[in-house]
Structure 1
Amino acid sequence: MPTVWWAERNQCESILDIVGMCGTGPLVAIALCLLIAGVLANQQRTFRFHPNSIRYNVNNNRPIIGILSQEPSKSIASVSPESVSYIAASYVKWLEGQGARVVPIKVNQPDSYYKTVFDSINGRLLIPGGGASLVSSGYGKAGSILYDLAIEANNNGDFFPVWGTCLGFELLLYLSAGRKNFLTPCNSYNRAASLKFISDASVSRLYQRAPNDVLKTLSKEKSTSNFHHWCMTKENLTASSLDNFYRPLATSTDDDGLEFVATIEAIDYPFWGVQFHPEKNVYEWGANLTSVPHWPSAIKAGQYFAEFFVNQARKSQHRFASRQEEATYLIYNYAPLYTANVSSSFLQSYFFD
């Protein structure tokens, strides 16, 4: 599949479009057209999306998305020493900019807390945790509980989307591999990169309907912001059998030329992950973040991912028992603090006891 698949898709937006075009014309042309349609149909069937019937309300104009908090580093903790977890404000703004509201998900809470939050929010965003352990941290443990709840819900036809960014991307891979780590060290910190789309991107839910200019920006410009020391290679994705759960959609390269998976999409579940940081393009301006792309096309590309995920969350029927209970959980109960003076990564952060 050529990397410019989006440039010509306006002529054949779907398999039905192609079949419709096959109705007239010379026999050879008709046969070729039907062959192309068949190939694309087989490609699309590799993304089964969901094994059971899906129940969702597409008219949910009050989506609420949970963001998993994480233990702070020593520098960030110095801003609010009594707090045990935090969320970078850029993730909150990223979702709010697309019409969603946010509920912070705290770490080190009883299982009943996570079940209550899960039943009440329309989607969950896993955020990067810096040096947080995928295994022993409160971030990793809470993420594991919520992941299992999301698997169970979707298996029962209860649509519940999950998004992972950077460490969240890595956490999804770790959990989906049966709590085994198949990541490899890499050198992609404070690095802007382009995406090399894999053939499955053209039939993926994430990229299939993305605007042409966004796809062009992602593939032709160094428009993704990378801040990670661990990577998933295509070889490890296959060796771990994770390619039975996720399809890689795009890759990038690190400072040493190592090609790593940059975007994944689950085959049977509404789960997505990106190794890069789409929120930084819009909202992070730390003096040491020299690689973050802030030009207009890169900003639009970063916002596209938030728009996509928020629209997925609109399909979920989860809700709080009442508006009063909802109000007690929302991020508006907290005020962000300035953290750029102690952290090179985040301008503002929310802190939680």
Structure 2
Amino acid sequence: MRALLWFPLLSLLALTLPHLSTTSPTSPTSSSSQRPVIGILSQEVSRYDPTPDAESYIAASYVKFVESAGARVVPVMINQTEEEYKALFYSLNGILLPGGGVSIYSSGYARASKIFYDLAIEANQKGDFFPIWGTCLGFEQLAYLTAQKPVLVNTNTTSVTLPLNFTNEAKGSRMFQDFPDELMRALETEALTENSHMWSVSLETYNSNDDLKTFYKVLSTNTDGRTEFISTWEAYDYPIYGVQWHPEKNPFEWTRAYYAHSSNAVKVTFYFANFFVNEARKSVHSFESEEAVRKLLIYRHSQTYAGDQRPFEQIYYF
């Protein structure tokens, strides 16, 4: 219990510990491992956005999620060329595909996701470590990219916070290996995971789809009372991770009464953030110079308050 009470201090200490890289079995050889830069994919604005001249956006809570564990963020814009995405891929240490409401089949978000997914598969197969994290829409995007066909079913899960139903695979997973037992029990018994989705990957669909079943290890499921769906998974052979729910909302979003803000809810967020950023630390990708990365960092953009129109408190518009 003391470890949980002192988590903010311990998380900072954890970030200084050595982590394995793909080029060395004992320690990282690149300074990028201690200065990770993670891309967060933007997506098309909606009719509800208060900035009509913007083309795309990123909710600030995703940026804060990554920054809370010691990484910097570069926004990945939609509608860039494949060559531009490829150059960015070899500079970033990982990418986060955030939640949202655009098409996973035909949007700029979908196109960019596929390019980064394909590059990551190819790179990881060659021993070039590159992690991907998908949240909600990002989870659904990963499912489509892996199955190479639509696999989602409709569920009644647009505004509910739930405990997780862990599978037997969770305890030995990479994602949960550093979670304290107390926090795992809290995840099982307390409503700590916020769901804002109307589409899911049902367990039935997963079990009948060889592409999904051989690629992803299911770590938790949930149900809307009618359909059991996958809520957390990780790839067997790649550093690719997905959650159908929203860990970033617990500490950073306040527009909905059902968002979880308890001490355990916040700890869950930071353990996940710490895990993903530590995965990014294993990547030896880097920008050609500090000046080059500084030109692209999200620090150069301003946040806009959007809590009156959107479920996000703050948004970056591009």
The two structures have a TM-score, normalised by structure 2, of: 0.89
**Count of residues in Structure 1 that have an aligned counterpart in Structure 2:** 292
Alignment of 1:340-351 (within 5 A): 340-343=307-310, 345-351=311-317
Whichever residue aligns with residue 130 of structure 2, its letter is F
Asked if residue 62 in structure 1 is aligned to residue 35 in structure 2, the reply is: yes
Match of 2:171, SS state, is helix
Q: Is the 8 A contact 2:22 2:282 kept in 1?
A: no
Whole-angstrom distance in 1 between the partners of 2:272 and 2:41: 18
- Out of 299, 305, 310, the position equivalent to 1:338 is 305
Q: Look up the match of 1:49.
A: none
Whole-angstrom distance in 1 between the partners of 2:201 and 2:70: 32
Note the C-alpha offset of 1:102.
Answer: 0.3
Q: Which runs of 5+ in 1 are unaligned?
A: 1-52
RMSD of equivalent CA atoms: 1.3
Please tell me whether Structure 1 or Structure 2 has the larger radius of gyration of its CA atoms. Answer: 1
Q: Look up the match of 2:287.
A: 320
Whichever residue aligns with residue 303 of structure 2, its letter is P
Q: Is the 8 A contact 1:193 1:223 kept in 2?
A: yes
Q: Is the 8 A contact 1:193 1:253 kept in 2?
A: no
- Identity level (%): 48
Whole-angstrom distance in 1 between the partners of 2:316 and 2:34: 25
Whole-angstrom distance in 2 between the partners of 1:297 and 1:88: 23
Q: Look up the match of 1:275.
A: 244
Whichever residue aligns with residue 75 of structure 1, its letter is Y
Q: Is the 8 A contact 1:161 1:270 kept in 2?
A: yes
Q: Which runs of 5+ in 2 are unaligned?
A: 1-20
Note the C-alpha offset of 1:235.
Answer: 1.2
Whole-angstrom distance in 2 between the partners of 1:292 and 1:309: 22
- Out of 273, 283, 301, the position equivalent to 1:306 is 273
Match of 1:74, SS state, is coil
Whichever residue aligns with residue 241 of structure 2, its letter is W
Note the C-alpha offset of 1:218.
Answer: 0.7
Whole-angstrom distance in 2 between the partners of 1:209 and 1:299: 16
Q: Look up the match of 1:194.
A: 163
Whichever residue aligns with residue 350 of structure 1, its letter is Y
Instruction: Give the ranges of 4+ consecutive aligned residues of structure 1 lying more than 4 Å apart after TM superposition.
Output: none
The two structures have a TM-score, normalised by structure 1, of: 0.81
Note the C-alpha offset of 1:257.
Answer: 4.0
Alignment of 1:1-353 (within 5 A): 54-55=22-23, 58=28, 60-76=33-49, 79-130=50-101, 132-178=102-148, 180-241=149-210, 242-254=212-224, 256-286=225-255, 289-343=256-310, 345-352=311-318
Note the C-alpha offset of 1:258.
Answer: 2.3
- Residues 1:303 and 1:257: Cα distance change in structure 2 (over 3 Å): farther
Q: Is the deviation greater in 257-266 or in 277-286?
A: 257-266
